[in-house]
Chain A
Amino acid sequence: MRYPNALLVLWIASVPLAAQSYKAPRTPDGKPDLQGIWQVMNTAAVNLEDHIAVLGMPAGRSVIVDPPDGKIPYTPAAAQKQKENFKNRAKADPLNICYIPGVPRVMYLPFPIQFVQTPKYVLMASEFGHTLRTVYMNGTKHPDVALFWIGDSRGHWEGETLVVDVANHLPDTWFDRSGNFHSDALHITERITRTEPDILTYEATLEDPQVFTRPWTIRMLLYRHKEPNFKLLEYECNAYLEDAEKEAR
């Protein structure tokens, strides 16, 4: 009897998230209401893959659900480049000089992120460097003339799930502190679902044939900030960087 049980466990683990039963309250225009201030409780910002702790970077488990080994499917050359990035991270991490984090990194930084919805837009405002994502929900296409630090996001609803197509990425952003990276061929499909009243399940599939041998998928939870009157404050990174440079002189 052990074998069927194991199969049952496997089957439960593979139930798609969309099949779960919670139905979110609706906005005035009838869409699932994802509004609120959210934040992850994980170490994806340190490293998307399994990682042991090093100075200032806590250990954590991979948020990569596909491929099953939890590793980013780099091409051999890209894998080498990531190793160099890791070694040079103190200087090379774009966040250390306060650049816009890019997608998906802005979603799992250890800073709160506020979701706002209107019929035309879903806005995501991060406390880190007042980074703002606008997801256009009006059926428009990606522009064909510009690349953005935060990419270009166009979304639609599939039942309970906000599906966002993100393209037009500048190649200069990283995925995490460990130098995991991409090129300007990066294409992301995000699936964001309010799976419980105070939880968003965030999933993103990343494709970039210049850097990865196959698409891969991360999945994690964002938790609602429920503290009374919680609001975004500021992390004005470039101002603090200047202050630190003045102090160092």
Chain B
Amino acid sequence: MKKLNTLNLVVASVTAAALMTFAPIPGAGQDKQKGGKGKGGPPGGEQYGPYYAAPAKAGDPVGRTPDGQPDMQGFWTPRFNQAIFEVQDHPTAQPGIGPGKGAIVDPADGRIPYKPEAAAKAKELLSKQIYLEPEAHCYVSGVPHAAYQQFGYQIVQPAGYVLFLTEYAHTYRAVPTDGRPHISPNIKLFRGDSVGKWDGGTLVIDTTNQNGKTWFDMAGNFTTQSIHVVERITPVDTNNINYEAVVDDSTIYTQPWKIAGQLGRHPDQNMELMEFACVEGNQDLVHYTEGVGGKAKEKGALRQ
């Protein structure tokens, strides 16, 4: 059998993402995003936005790892409405972003409680999102965006750590649970610095040190270096995990706000994460116009 080059697979994914981004989505977009059963994954699943989400199905009681952590190991897909497009409720279609629900449960209106200047900045970024959206540049997603990452992720729990391995851009998040302090505030990272601890059956992850270059979604909802995120991750049974995160940043919000969603265990537990080689396959040159990505065009040319 002739071997396929993963580059082609990746180009296919990136191209699909680009089509998704640039296809004009009129009012009909909502139906499309709710999707039907069983598309793009094993039977019984639903579409999360355009992405596969495992069916909600009761499981067995949560087990324990050899070092006594509640065992969440395996492959998971997020259920956070259409937060991957926009984290807040977005009843009106925007270019490339259909109307849909976000994942904000507090405040009750489902919207980010921006201060006026920050709201203006988010609006400005939304108007340029096709050029500026960080993931289109293959940047690593920040926290909590990583929790509702498209294509899902794998959780691994060796002693002293919880690791999240995402298929998107082959990224990983290694969260130590050994009680260590945060790194110096002088160091800023795309993924920030996460430290975790188990509070009974809930994993509590505190994340600081983010670099302010990531967004919550594709819609210009930006972050700053002052962001502080506390995630609470609670396995309910072997098939379901409840997730919530409180986001605080007094420089741009009038109050802390909270997102909530669920993770569903992927029915195929023999699955293997594929290599989403983002930089290597990125021929999505629309994102790299002269004004924004510069020589990335040449990078694309190199691969052709």
Contacts and interface: CB of A to CB of B under 8 A. Distances in A.
Interface string B167-191: 0011110101000110100010111
Interface in B1-15: 1, 3-7, 9
B295 interface: yes
Interface in A206-249: 229, 231-234, 236-239, 242, 245-246, 249
Contact of B163 (A116, A148, A150, A239): A116
A116 B4 contact: no
What size tier do the contact residues of chain B reach?
35 or more
B6 A123 contact: no
B253 interface: no
B1 A100 contact: no
A181 interface: no
Interface stretch (A3-11, A16-24, A60-68, A129-137): A129-137
Nearest to B183: A231
A88 B66 CA distance: 51
A84 to B, nearest CB: 16
A29 B187 CA distance: 37
Contact of A145 (B4, B295, B302): B4
Contact of A149 (B161, B174, B275): B275
Interface in B63-82: 66-67, 73
A90 interface: no
A146 to B, nearest CB: 5
Contacts of B293: 242, 245
Contact of A245 (B6, B158, B294): B294
B3 A234 contact: no
Contacts of A184: 3
Interface string B145-159: 000000000001111
A125 interface: yes
Nearest to A97: B299
A240 to B, nearest CB: 11
A242 B296 contact: yes
A98 interface: yes
Contacts of A29: 66
A118 B280 contact: no
B158 A146 contact: no
A168 B3 contact: yes
Contacts of B73: 118
B277 interface: yes
Contact of B279 (A99, A125, A136, A145): A99
Given A123-B165, A134-B272, A98 B6 contact: no
B5 A170 contact: yes
A205 interface: no
A142 to B, nearest CB: 10
A28 interface: yes
B285 to A, nearest CB: 14
B110 to A, nearest CB: 31
Contacts of A150: 170, 275
B6 A239 contact: no
A146 B9 contact: yes
A117 B189 contact: no
Interface string B134-146: 0001111000000
B169 A130 contact: yes
A144 B1 contact: yes
Interface string A85-112: 0000000000001111000000000000
A125 B6 contact: no
B174 A114 contact: yes
Contacts of A249: 294
Contact of B280 (A100, A116, A117): A100
B213 interface: yes
Nearest to B278: A238
Given A132-B165, A144-B3, A168-B3, A123 B156 contact: yes
Given A98-B279, A129-B279, A168-B3, 14 more contacts: A28-B66, A99-B279, A116-B158, A121-B156, A123-B172, A130-B169, A130-B170, A134-B165, A150-B275, A229-B181, A231-B176, A233-B183, A234-B189, A238-B137
Interface of A: 28-29, 35, 97-100, 114, 116-118, 121, 123, 125, 129-132, 134, 136, 144-150, 168, 170, 172, 184, 229, 231-234, 236-239, 242, 245-246, 249
9 closest A-B pairs by beta carbon, nearest first, are A28-B66, A245-B294, A229-B180, A148-B275, A238-B279, A130-B171, A234-B189, A116-B158, A132-B170
14 contacts: A99-B277, A117-B158, A130-B140, A130-B170, A168-B3, A229-B180, A229-B181, A231-B176, A233-B183, A233-B189, A234-B189, A238-B139, A245-B293, A249-B294
Interface of B: 1, 3-7, 9, 66-67, 73, 137-140, 156-159, 161, 163, 165, 169-172, 174, 176, 180-181, 183, 187, 189-191, 213, 272-275, 277, 279-280, 293-296, 299, 302
